[in-house]
Amino acid sequence: MDFITIVFLVYSVLAFYFLFLYILIYFQNRKKVFYTPPITKKYSLSIVVPCYNEEKTIEKVIKNLLKAKYDNLKKIILVDDCSTDNSYKIMKKYAKKYPNKIIAVQTPKNTGKASGAKNYGAKFVNTELIGFTDADSYPQRDAINYMIGFFDDKKIGAVTANVLVQNRDKFILKLQSLEYKVIKFTRKLLEFIDSIYVTPGPLAIYRKSAFDNVKGFDEKNLAEDIEITWHLQYEGYKIKMAVPSRVYSVAPSTIKDWVKQRNRWNIGGLQCVNKYKKVFGKKGTLGNFIVPLFISQWIIGLFGLFILGYKIIRTIILKYLSVSYSVQTQTTILNMKDINFTVSVLVFFGLVVFLLSSFYTIFILLNVKEKQYKKENFFTLIFYMIFYLLAYPIILLISFIKYLKGDIKW
Amino acid sequence: MLNNKKRVFWEALLLTLLIFLIGMLIGVLSENSRMRSVEEYYIQSEISLIDILTLSNLANLDDANCDNLINSNINFANRIYDEAKLLEKYEQAGKINENIKIEHKKYDVMRTLLWINTMRFSEVCKNNKVHIIVYLYESNTKDLTKKATNTVWSKIINDLKERQGNEIILIPIAVDSDLISLNSVLENFNISSYPALIIDDKYVLEELSSVEEIEEFF
């Protein structure tokens, strides 16, 4: 058996393992996936909204929060990170209109990242719970209500929501919309093994005491939402996800912005792995699952990319040489007899992995119902399964190089 | 609760191993089935070759026997050429069982014997008008230039065979099977690199040539 065959089989085994893990978790917990505990106590809550140059979206975010059904939302703290547009002006307008509900503050100087603005806003919070939402994210009116009940369990440090894509007019946005649904559903499944690894910025609520215990967000980390989750896990807190709690977020609409976002997430992930590598193999699910999962994703992604790249380059060179020699000797370039229809066992494994992944993705899409949006079409699904996911390892490589070069900026 | 959470990891692992083993079993059975069909073809071909060798060992080869011998060799060469193509496809698809390489080697021995036999009848049967084309190549090369050259040579000799039909006996042999008999025969030809084409045991082509250029040697 050659080396490439062994690598392919190892990858197939890993793919099977994670697919079966998620499928088994789902079947063992399917009645609890969409469940959220009822509100027995109305914890006091403040929401912090960090903002930098979001004049186009901040007003709608403020209006959405004002319409929130949760009636113990004490304060909405709008934090302007020294924007150069009219964001702060809009914030002050609403703070003046709703002086008992809204506070508009500005950081002393631009912090350069969301974590800085968030930590600054947290200083103004004295409620039992502290929530954060991005200045381009729109929580639904009942989003907070679905999250509160989880905090009756004292071990819960944070609750995250179901982040979906707001804008879907471009193809890249349709792909992200599909991707977000798959990621979010999978994240809920990870909750059942205490392995939620991120509380995304669009909407997350933390127990204030837990937030203070971990000293807020790590301002050195590009993905502060991942870092705080790992920190909470490290301190023994549990993280939950409220699937019915929906927040619609503006996703990157150009490839350049998409790559920038993913680089930030990947580099932030690497920073977290570096910070928490000491717990590898120890300390509950953080050390025994989350950290190993992140490390193995990097290794599998980068190694797989090199192998795939090697095979593709060799195939291209071989085809180029064959074609040019065929032209020189006036021989047919391609003949039907040249195509080998005899399938190998690797094709069988590849096909089974692809089919299982497709069923998993389709199952998720069928379960995440959105009245206001049309369902994803078949072409988007196929493109996502075959091409979009292939971009991940390439972005991983770019992120890895940036990380090694110390190019760590928002 | 914690035990239930840990249990799902083990359950997933067991399920993975089960599916993986089933897949490997299907792969092994499928490759073994192909190997058996190749072995059956080989046995048939072996019988034909022994038959031909017996004929060629007749003390006096008159014209009638020469015609029989030449036709038998042509038909035999055609058959093992087709079987070789099938074997090549099975070899490409075979990822678990390496035994198919042994079948390849057995066919190389058979083809070497065929080649030696054609050399003999060429000397004895003076009226022979059939051309012997021996294609020598390295089957296990990783060199992309050689692989591309192999691919194109295969197409050229295939085209040549289609044009010339039974006017040629085509014998492709892998030179990296480490066969003593083949290595001995090859010492008579000063071949510096492979792939190479030997025409009528006289002319050696080491550079790619078109079908028309090869036909000029006939």
Contacts of A190 in chain B (CB under 8 A): none
Concatenate the DSSP letters of all residues of B16-82 into one string.
HHHHHHHHHHHHHHHHHHHHHHHHHHHHHHHHHHHHHHHHHT-S---HHHHHHHHHHHHHHHHHHHH
Residue contact B92–A17, C-beta within 8 A:
no
Q: In this predicted structure, what is the pLDDT of residue B58?
A: 66
ipTM: 0.84
Q: Enumerate the residues of chain B whose CB falls inside 8 A of the CB of residue A3.
A: none
pLDDT of residue A70: 94
Predicted confidence at residue B2, as pLDDT, reads: 47
Domains and CATH numbers, chain A: 1-275+344-410 (3.90.550.10)
Distance CA A204, CA B190 (A): 78
pLDDT at B129: 78
Q: Do the chains contact at A321 and B144, CB–CB below 8 Å?
A: yes
Percent of residues in chain B assigned helix, strand, coil, to nearest 5: 70, 10, 20
Best mutation target, B91, B137, B144, to test chain A (most A CBs within 10 A): B144
Please give the pLDDT value at position A117. 95
Q: How many CA atoms lie within 13 A of A162 on its CB side?
A: 25
Pair A119, A217: CB distance under 8 Å: yes
Chain B residues within 8 A of A1 when measuring between CB atoms: 95-96, 98
Domains, chain B, ordered by start: 2-215 (3.40.30.10)
Per-residue pLDDT of chain A (410 residues; tens, 9 = 90+): 788 888 888 998 999 999 999 999 999 999 999 999 999 999 999 999 999 999 999 999 999 999 999 999 999 999 999 999 999 999 999 999 999 999 999 999 999 889 999 999 999 999 999 999 999 999 999 999 999 999 999 999 999 999 999 888 889 999 999 999 999 999 999 999 999 999 999 999 999 999 999 999 999 999 999 999 999 999 999 999 999 999 999 999 999 999 999 999 999 999 999 999 999 988 788 999 999 999 998 988 889 888 888 989 999 999 999 999 988 888 877 766 666 667 777 888 888 888 888 888 888 888 776 665 666 778 888 898 888 888 888 999 999 999 988 887 76
- SS3 string of A188-250? HHHHCCCCCCCCCCCCEEEEHHHHHHCCCCCCCCCCHHHHHHHHHHHCCCEEEEEEEEEEEEC
Which ranges of chain B have pLDDT less than 50? 1-2
DSSP state of A162: E
Task: Output the pLDDT for position B1.
Answer: 45
Q: Is A28 on the interface with B (CB under 8 A)?
A: yes
Instruction: Take residue A254 and report the two structure tokens written for it.
Output: 């150009």
Dihedral of alpha carbons A102, A103, A104, A110, sign: negative
Contacts of A351 in chain B (CB under 8 A): none
Judge: B16–A192 Cβ closer than 8 Å, yes or no: no
